[in-house]
């Protein structure tokens, strides 16, 4: 099973948000933790972080035939990015959209998101827990 992980805009700055909360959570630590979570479960992860819409779209399109699901942490894309939303819908990839709780939020929460369809399930909460829940949801389909 292959799961795509798409970290959206500014998630490379997760450590700055975390430092204000007196924690040491970084994007690298998140990626290491989710790799550890899937170890030994027959799951391959393909992970990318980008600010560029076209790279996100290329990532989804190029991997659509080999992937079994997509976890997207869309941050600001969740409010207005119709093209990424359309790409997810056209590819029909089973998708989990992750939104961070208020303390880690990058400004967009689940209620503000346009990423709503029968192929997209939303997860909210503390970053690592929400991402792991999203992965578990996709692997239990």
How far apart CA 132 and CA 74 sit, in angstroms, is 16
Minimal CA–CA distance to 91: which of 46, 57, 135, 49? 57
Query: pTM here?
Result: 0.94
Strands of the sheet containing 69-73, edge to edge, are 44-49, 2-7, 69-73, 95-100, 120-125
How far apart CA 136 and CA 133 sit, in angstroms, is 5
Other beta carbons less than 10 A from residue 28's beta carbon? 12
Tens digit of pLDDT for each residue in 118-139? Answer: 889 999 999 999 999 999 999 9
CATH architecture of 2-139: 3-Layer(aba) Sandwich (3.40)
**Residue 29: pLDDT above 90?**
yes
């Amino acid at each position: 099973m292959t799961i795509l992980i798409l970290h959206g805009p500014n998630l490379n700055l997760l450590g700055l948000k975390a430092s204000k909360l007196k924690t040491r959570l970084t994007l690298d630590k998140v990626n290491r933790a989710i790799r550890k979570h899937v170890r030994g479960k027959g799951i391959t992860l393909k992970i990318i972080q980008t600010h560029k819409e076209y790279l996100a779209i290329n990532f989804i399109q190029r991997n659509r035939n080999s992937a079994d699901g997509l976890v997207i942490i869309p941050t600001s894309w969740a409010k207005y990015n119709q093209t990424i939303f359309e790409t997810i819908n056209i590819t029909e990839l089973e998708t989990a959209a992750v939104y961070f709780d208020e303390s880690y939020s990058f400004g967009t929460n689940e209620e503000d998101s346009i990423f709503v369809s029968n192929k997209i399930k939303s997860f909210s909460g503390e970053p690592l827990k929400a991402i792991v829940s999203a992965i578990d949801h996709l692997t239990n389909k």
